[in-house]
Amino acid sequence: MGSFAGGGLPPDDVVVTALRAGDEAMFAALLDTWSGGLLRVARSYVSTDHSAEEVVQDTWLALIGGIDSFEGRSSVKTWVYRILVNIAKKRGVRESRTLPWSAFEGDGGGSAVPGPVPPGGWKEVPAAWPTPEGEALASEVRGVIAEALDGLPPRQRTVITLRDVEGWSSDDVCEVLEISAANQRVLLHRARAAVRGRLADYFESVKPPE
Amino acid sequence: MKRFTCDELVEVITAYLDHALDQRACDGVRRHLACCEGCERYFEQFRATIGVLGDPPPEKLRADVQDRLMSAFRERRQA
Ligand SMILES: [Zn+2]
């Protein structure tokens, strides 16, 4: 089996056949391609890097144990992410990172925060953001983003991570999280609005005085 | 064409970007953005946010975890 660098992974049937045959290069390629995203999603549910790593490790062990019985009803990718979410949820509840699970289900509900538009409409146009130039600014912005993600309710964080960080389609996200397209959109929109708000605060705070 | 207030408009941006609005609403969003500076700027910031989110720092499993998983794969396949 050659390397998949640049070309992405081969189709699912090729992947599954190779894994069942014990193809180490294929397993290594999957580890390499998906572990980053799996870690990011795991962080939505658990509180430490160490826990996230263990969740990802357990997910891969479940894949190793389960590949022979994989029925191909979903893609391998969504199957693996579903395993991850199930393991991570259980672990997150055990760690009781935030609140009981019912609270996890509640963050798609009514609008709790006031919208960005002041009553009566924009009094002044929101400030233009600087284009991040140079490594220093870029790394500070990344820091702001990381903090903003940390502050999101788990379901919002999972959705925005899959959609915007990992670049998934809405259909795949709905399948993994077993939610409706409308619910997915509400969670995503709220998460994006929250992250935008944090970035706006940050750019406001570093703005040179006029 | 649907008419949006600013409050309504900022709430449908994700639906708009996902092409989940009907034609009437879509036209309404475009029209509003073309003549409302506040919402246009907000829309820009929203898209910039999505852009920055899509450029995350690299994330990798620790080498020893990877090694452990490679051995687990090897052993299981030989069993
Ligand atoms: Zn407006």
Give the DSSP letter string of A3-59: --TTT-PPPHHHHHHHHHTT-HHHHHHHHHHHHHHHHHHHTTT-SSHHHHHHHHHHH
- For A156, the token pair is 């919002």
Please report, for residues A67, B6, B32, B55, the alpha-carbon distance to residue B52 in angstroms, rounded to integers and kept in the order given: 35, 25, 25, 5
Q: Across the interface, do B45 and A196 touch by the CB < 8 Å criterion?
A: yes
Nearest C-alpha of chain B: how many angstroms from A4? 17
Average pLDDT, chain A: 87
Question: How far apart are alpha carbons A189 and A195 in whole angstroms?
Answer: 10
CA dihedral of A110, A113, A117, A120, whole degrees rounded to 10: 80
Q: Comparing A43-52, A125-134, A192-201, which segment has the lowest mean pLDDT?
A: A125-134
Is residue A134 scored above 60 in pLDDT? yes
Q: Across the interface, do B58 and A167 touch by the CB < 8 Å criterion?
A: no
Q: Comparing A3-17, A141-155, A190-204, B48-62, which segment has the lowest mean pLDDT?
A: A3-17
Question: How far apart are alpha carbons B75 and A22 in whole angstroms?
Answer: 9
Question: Which among A40, A164, A168 is the top mutation candidate for probing chain B, defined by the most B β-carbons within 10 Å of its own β-carbon?
Answer: A164
Residues of chain A with CATH 1.10.10.10: 101-206
pLDDT band at A18 (very low <50, low <70, confident <90, very high): very high
Residues of chain A with CATH 1.10.1740.10: 12-94
Is residue A6 scored above 80 in pLDDT? no
Closest CA to A161 of A51, A72, A84: A84
Residue A124: predicted pLDDT: 86
Is residue A108 scored above 50 in pLDDT? no
Is residue A21 scored above 60 in pLDDT? yes
Q: Does domain A12-94 have CATH number 1.10.3430.10?
A: no
Model confidence pLDDT, tens digit, residues A48-76: 999 999 999 999 999 999 999 999 889 99
CA dihedral of B18, B24, B27, B31, whole degrees rounded to 10: -120
Is residue A97 scored above 70 in pLDDT? no
Q: Which residues of A touch B60 (CB under 8 A)?
A: 35-36
Supply the pTM of this predicted model: 0.89
Q: Comparing A30-39, A103-112, B3-12, which segment has the lowest mean pLDDT?
A: A103-112
Selected residue with higher pLDDT from A132 and A175: A175
The residue range of the domain holding B30 is 6-78
Closest CA to A126 of B4, B43, B2: B43
Is residue A102 scored above 90 in pLDDT? no
Is residue A190 scored above 50 in pLDDT? yes
Question: How far apart are alpha carbons B54 and A114 in whole angstroms?
Answer: 26
Residue A131: predicted pLDDT: 72
Nearest C-alpha of chain B: how many angstroms from A94? 23
Secondary structure, 3-state, chain B: CCCCCHHHHHHCHHHHHCCCCCHHHHHHHHHHHHHCHHHHHHHHHHHHHHHHHCCCCCCCCCHHHHHHHHHHHHHHHHC
Question: How far apart are alpha carbons A80 and A27 in whole angstroms?
Answer: 13
Residues B43-55 have a mean pLDDT of 94
Residues A136-163 have a mean pLDDT of 92
Output the CA angle A138-A139-A145, nearest 5 degrees.
90
A101-206 CATH, one of 3.40.50.620, 3.40.50.920, 1.10.10.10, 3.40.50.2300: 1.10.10.10
Q: Which residues of A touch B6 (CB under 8 A)?
A: 117, 121-122
* B49: CB partners within 8 A, 6+ apart: A192, A195, A196, A199
Question: How far apart are alpha carbons A197 and B46 in whole angstroms?
Answer: 9
Count of domains forming chain B:
1
Residues B39-56 have a mean pLDDT of 94
Question: Which among A57, A84, A171 is the top mutation candidate for probing chain B, defined by the most B β-carbons within 10 Å of its own β-carbon?
Answer: A57
Selected residue with higher pLDDT from A151 and A119: A151
ipTM of the complex: 0.93
Residues A73-97 have a mean pLDDT of 88
